[in-house]
Amino acid sequence: MSTESPGVARHEDKSAFGFLIVASVFFLISGLVALIIAAKLHLPTLLGEVSWLTYGRMRPLHTNGMLFGWLLAADMGLCFYLVPRLCGVRLWSEKLGLATLGLWTFIILGAVVTLSMGINQGLEYAELPLWLDVLVTVAWVLFAVNIFATVAVRRYQQMYVSLWYILASILWTAFVYIVGNFATHFTSGVNQANLNWFYVHNAVGLIFTPLGLGIGYYFIPKAAETPLYSHRLSMIGFWSLAFVYVWTGAHHMLHGPISQWLQTVAILFSVMLMIPVWSLVWNFFATMKGQWHQLKDNVPIKFLMTGTIFYLLTCFQGPMHSLRTVNAIVSKTDWIVGHAHMAVLGAFSFFAIGGAYYALPRMLGTRLHSQSLANASFWLWLVGGLSFFVSLWIGGFLQGLQWNDATIPFIDTVKFMAPFWGVRLMGGLLMFTGILLFFWNVLITYMGRAERPEPAV
Amino acid sequence: MADYTWTSVLSIYVLMACFVVATAAFLVRAIRSGAVADDEAPKFRMLHDDEPCGRER
Is A301 in contact with A294 (CB distance < 8 Å)?
yes
Q: Could you tell me which residues come within 8 angstroms of residue A54 by beta carbon, excluding any fewer than 6 positions away?
A: none
Predicted local distance difference test score (pLDDT) of residue A261: 84
Q: How far apart are CA A145 and CA A140, in angstroms?
A: 9
Q: How far apart are CA A301 and CA A352, in angstroms?
A: 12
Nearest to B23 among A186, A242, A362 (CB): A242
pLDDT > 70? residue B4: no
How far is C-alpha A193 from the chain's CA centre?
23
Which of B10, B11, B31, B51 is the best substitution to test chain A (most A C-beta atoms within 10 A)? B11
Q: Could you tell me the pLDDT band of residue B55, with boundaries at 50, 70 and 90?
A: very low
How near does any CA of chain A get to the CA of B39, in Å?
7
Q: Could you tell me which residues come within 8 angstroms of residue A95 by beta carbon, excluding any fewer than 6 positions away?
A: none
Predicted local distance difference test score (pLDDT) of residue B57: 41
Residue pairs between chains A and B whose CB atoms are closer than 8 Å: 114
Residue type, A311: Y
In A332-361, which positions are buried (b, 16+ CB within 10 angstroms) versus exposed (e)? Answer: ebbbbbbbbbbbbbbbbbbbbbbbbbbbbb
Is A306 in contact with A352 (CB distance < 8 Å)?
no
Predicted local distance difference test score (pLDDT) of residue A351: 97
Q: Could you tell me which residues come within 8 angstroms of residue B51 by beta carbon, excluding any fewer than 6 positions away?
A: none
Is A345 in contact with A431 (CB distance < 8 Å)?
yes
SS3 state of residue A366: strand
Q: What is the pLDDT along chain A (457 residues), one digit of tens a residue?
A: 644 444 556 788 999 999 999 999 999 999 999 999 999 998 888 888 889 999 999 999 999 999 999 999 999 999 999 999 999 999 999 999 999 999 999 999 999 999 999 999 989 899 999 999 999 999 999 999 999 999 999 988 889 999 999 999 999 899 889 988 988 888 888 888 888 888 898 888 889 999 999 999 999 999 999 999 999 999 999 999 988 888 887 888 888 888 888 889 889 999 999 899 999 999 999 999 999 999 999 999 999 999 999 999 999 998 888 899 999 999 999 999 999 999 999 999 999 999 999 999 999 999 999 999 999 999 999 999 999 999 999 999 999 999 999 999 999 999 999 999 999 999 999 999 999 999 999 999 999 887 777 655 4
Of all residues in chain A, the one with the smallest CA distance to B20 is: A243
CA distances, A414 to each of A277, A333, A372, A395, A421 (Å): 35, 11, 41, 10, 10
- Does the CB of A325 have a partner CB in chain B at under 8 Å? no
Query: Which of these, A265, A85, A432, lies nearest to B5 by C-alpha position?
Result: A265
Residue type, A173: T
How near does any CA of chain B get to the CA of A179, in Å?
8
Q: How far apart are CA A330 and CA A401, in angstroms?
A: 8
Q: How far apart are CA A34 and CA A421, in angstroms?
A: 13
How near does any CA of chain A get to the CA of B29, in Å?
13
Q: Could you tell me which residues come within 8 angstroms of residue A396 by beta carbon, excluding any fewer than 6 positions away?
A: A330, A333, A334, A335, A336, A337, A338, A420
Q: How far apart are CA A115 and CA A339, in angstroms?
A: 25
How near does any CA of chain A get to the CA of B24, in Å?
8
Is B14 in contact with A179 (CB distance < 8 Å)?
no
How near does any CA of chain B get to the CA of A194, in Å?
7
Q: How far apart are CA A163 and CA A79, in angstroms?
A: 9
CA distances, A327 to each of A137, A253, A273, B41 (Å): 34, 10, 17, 44
Residues of A in contact with B56 (CB under 8 A): 7, 9
Nearest to B52 among A9, A158, A161 (CB): A9
| Eight-class DSSP state of A453 | B
* pLDDT tens, residue by residue, B12-44: 777 778 878 888 888 888 888 777 776 788 999
Predicted local distance difference test score (pLDDT) of residue B51: 63
Query: Which of these, A354, A378, A364, lies nearest to A215 by C-alpha position?
Result: A354
Is A263 in contact with A253 (CB distance < 8 Å)?
yes
How near does any CA of chain A get to the CA of B50, in Å?
7
Q: Do the chains contact at B43 and A228, CB–CB below 8 Å?
A: yes
Predicted TM-score of the model (pTM): 0.92
Query: Which CATH superfamily, name and number, covers A14-447?
Result: Cytochrome c oxidase-like, subunit I domain (1.20.210.10)
Q: Could you tell me which residues come within 8 angstroms of residue A338 by beta carbon, excluding any fewer than 6 positions away?
A: A388, A389, A390, A391, A392, A393, A396
Instruction: Provide DSSP, A96-110.
Output: HHHHHHHHHHHHHHH
Q: How far apart are CA A170 and CA A97, in angstroms?
A: 15
Predicted local distance difference test score (pLDDT) of residue A142: 97
Residue type, A238: F
Q: Do the chains contact at B40 and A157, CB–CB below 8 Å?
A: no
Q: How far apart are CA A333 and CA A392, in angstroms?
A: 9
Residues of A in contact with B7 (CB under 8 A): 187, 191
Query: Which of these, A237, A132, A145, lies nearest to A177 by C-alpha position?
Result: A132
Nearest to B42 among A11, A89, A159 (CB): A159
Predicted local distance difference test score (pLDDT) of residue B56: 43
- Does the CB of A230 have a partner CB in chain B at under 8 Å? yes
Is A349 in contact with A370 (CB distance < 8 Å)?
no
Predicted local distance difference test score (pLDDT) of residue A457: 47
Instruction: Provide DSSP, B34-57.
Output: TTTSS--HHHHHGGGTTS--SS--
CA distances, A260 to each of A161, A181, A202, A251 (Å): 37, 26, 21, 11
Residues 14-33 of B with CB under 8 A from A: 15-16, 19-20, 23-24, 27
Instruction: Give, rounded to a whole angstrom, the gap between the first and last alpha carbons of chain B.
Output: 64
What are the boundaries of each domain within chain A?
Answer: 14-447
Residues of B in contact with A225 (CB under 8 A): 47
Q: Do the chains contact at A156 and B45, CB–CB below 8 Å?
A: yes
The burial of A81, by beta-carbon neighbours within 10 Å (0-12 exposed, 13-18 middle, 19 or more buried), is given as buried
Q: How far apart are CA B52 and CA B34, in angstroms?
A: 27
Is A441 in contact with A24 (CB distance < 8 Å)?
no
Predicted local distance difference test score (pLDDT) of residue B9: 61
